[in-house]
């Protein structure tokens, strides 16, 4: 009788722990849902997406908590509208992209955008000054994930 009770308690503990381990964070799901409805993404949205992608932490002021977080751009506020150039620079740094000789020399938005085009992350039908929408930012991270091999 005591053995059956121990087995039942163990079984319930295993069920509860797997439920907790495989549940998604509701705040992440809510954030992605809200981002999908945004007509214009912000720099703060991009920081959160990079944080989710890399598993690192970014402070509220956007300062990196690690030297490995090169995607954090200086001089921008979280409420600033996200341009393709900003997203390209963050992406090129995060993925350590090549593909543009000028980007290797000058770490700026224009050439980061060209490097992203060369690597198939962005298409050539736009400009680094184009504003990004929420769905475009989500699509960008889908491409980043594909580029990294689904890590």
What is each CA distance from 70 to 22, 35, 124, in whole angstroms?
30, 23, 25
Residue 43, CB-side half-sphere exposure with 13 Å CA sphere = 20
Under 8 Å between Cβ of 148 and 125 = no
**Regions of the chain with pLDDT less than 70:** 1-25, 56-69, 150-151
User: Residue 98: which domain range?
Assistant: 25-148
> In whole numbers, what is the pLDDT of the chain averaged over residues?
79
Give backbone dihedrals phi and psi of 40, rounded to 5 degrees, phi first. -135, 120
pTM: 0.73
Q: What is the pLDDT of residues 88-102, one digit of tens each?
A: 999 998 888 877 777
In a domain, 105, yes or no: yes
In a domain, 4, yes or no: no
Total domains in the chain come to 1
In a domain, 127, yes or no: yes
């Amino acid at each position: 009788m005591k053995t059956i009770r121990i087995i039942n308690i163990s079984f319930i503990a295993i069920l509860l722990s797997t439920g907790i381990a495989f549940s998604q964070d509701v705040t992440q799901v809510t954030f992605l849902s809200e981002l999908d409805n945004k007509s214009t993404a912000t720099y703060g949205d991009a920081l959160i997406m990079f944080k989710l992608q890399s598993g690192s932490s970014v402070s509220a002021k956007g300062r990196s908590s690690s030297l490995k977080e090169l995607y954090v751009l200086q001089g921008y506020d979280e409420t600033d509208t996200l341009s393709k150039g900003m997203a390209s620079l963050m992406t090129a740094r995060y993925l350590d992209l090549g593909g543009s000789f000028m980007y290797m020399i000058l770490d700026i938005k224009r050439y980061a955008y060209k490097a992203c085009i060369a690597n198939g992350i962005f298409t050539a039908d736009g400009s680094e000054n184009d504003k990004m929408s929420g769905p475009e930012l989500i699509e960008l991270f889908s491409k980043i994930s594909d580029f990294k091999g689904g890590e």
